[in-house]
Structure formats: structure tokens, C-alpha cells
Amino acid sequence: MPQSFIYLDINDNKAVITYLKAGEERAFDAVYRYYFSRLCGFCSQYVNEQEEIEEIVQETMMWLWENRCSLMEDLTLKTLLFTIVKNKALNRLSHFEIKRRVHQEIVEKYESEFDNPDFYLSNELFRLYEEALKQLPAEFREAYDMNRNQHLTHKEIAEKLNVSPQTVNYRIGQALKLLRIALKDYLPLFILCFGTDFLKKLY
């Protein structure tokens, strides 16, 4: 049976939140389509990489849907979304800066011991990475590969796999978590041999 039509004025804040709290997916889709590009443009003031921008906005929209029942009808949805995006962007910048400083200290520490990591060490580390990838569940590994190696956005992956962006976000997040756990004891050597660019595969 076809779904009944609903008229939604995106500027009618109270009505939009009422529909969201009722679990109306068509209302969420309207909010998503209306705000996505606007939020991406706003986020670009803080983050340069388009992939990171879209991830932040996707996370924000996913948060909205998952927390829809706790929304207050007198809350300004526009202000909420833009505030969340801003905070996520600033947290992302702060997080990466902290990691950059920490890993630079690690590199400097190990450089005195490994001035020129040999070919065997590099290949052994790559083998460990490949082995960790093989241990991932197939759907996690597929989403991870499409994102980190094929450089597809979460939205593009969702369209190719015919799943929601939220599902893609979850699969990649789980893949990264499992890889970091598997390789945690070797990260300093990975950074030394392959540079900080390797971190982009794990964070």
C-alpha cells in the first residue's frame, strides 16, 4: 500500500520536530535533503577535506535520527544542527592536532633506533596490516576498502551497496576499531616506515 502524502513546511520548526519524534522517515528525508548541502558549506569553514566534511554532516544527521525522541518542540532545529556540526568540526581539528603531536614524538623517539628501516621490516609490517584486514568481517572490509583505498564518500558507498549512509558509517567505524586493536603494538613502527600518512587508514 503506498504511503500517504504529508505536507511539510521545512520552516515550520514545531511541525518538523513533531514528525521526527513520531518516527516519520519522510520528514527526516526532507530535513536531510534540505540541510545537507547547507551544513557541508558551513562545515567547510572549519574543515578542508570534503570527505571529512561529509562524514561530520552524516554523523550529525544520524545523531538527529537516533535522538529524535528527545527533541523538544520549542527547540530550533536549524540552530541545533549547525551547532552540532560546528562542535564536531572543532573537536575533529583538536583531535587530529593532538594525535599529530603525539605521533611526531613517537617518530622522533624511534628514529634514533631505526635510522633506515630495512626492506624486510617494511614488508613484515605490511603483511601484518594485510592479515588484520583479512580478519575483518566481509562487509566491514568492503566498506573500509571503498572508503580508504577507493576514496569514495560514505554517500557514494551507500549508493553502491544499496544500504543507508548510517550503515556505511557503522561498518567503517567498526573496521577502524578492529584494525587499531590488531595493530596497536606496531603503530610506532608503521609510522616510522610509512610516515604519518598511514594513520589516515586507521583514523
pLDDT of residue 138: 92
Which DSSP letter does residue 68 get?
Answer: G
- Quote the pLDDT of residue 130: 87
pLDDT, tens only, 157-179: 999 999 998 889 889 889 988 98
**Tens digit of pLDDT for each residue in 124-140?**
677 888 888 999 999 99
Select from 92, 22, 14, 24 the least CA-distant residue to 53: 92
Lowest mean pLDDT, pick from 6-15, 24-33, 46-55, 191-200: 191-200
Counting residues of the chain whose pLDDT is more than 90, the rounded percentage is: 19
CATH 1.10.1740.10 fits 13-89, yes or no: yes
Q: What is the mean pLDDT of residues 144-148?
A: 90
**In the structure, what pLDDT confidence band is assigned to residue 57 with cuts at 50, 70 and 90?**
very high
Fold of the domain built from segment(s) 114-201: Arc Repressor Mutant, subunit A (1.10.10)
Answer for the pair 58, 169: CB distance below 8 angstroms, yes or no. yes
CA angle 152, 60, 19 (to 5 degrees): 120
Task: Give the model's confidence band at 188: pLDDT under 50 very low, under 70 low, under 90 confident, else very high.
Answer: low
Please say if the pLDDT value at position 122 is more than 70. Answer: no
Proportion of the chain above pLDDT 70, given as a percent: 73
Is it the case that residue 37 has pLDDT exceeding 70? yes
Contact indicator for 190, 129 with CB cutoff of 8 Å: yes
Task: Give yes or no on whether 13-89 and 114-201 have one common fold.
Answer: no
- The predicted pLDDT at position 140 comes to 92
Phi, psi of 76 (to 5 degrees): -85, 110
Q: Average pLDDT in the 12-36 region?
A: 90
Taking residue 67's Cβ as centre, other Cβ atoms within 10 Å add up to 10
Would you kindly state where each structural domain of the chain is located, as residue ranges?
Answer: 13-89, 114-201
Spell out the residues 6+ positions from residue 184 whose beta carbon is closer than 8 angstroms to its own: none
Full-prediction pTM beyond 0.85?
no
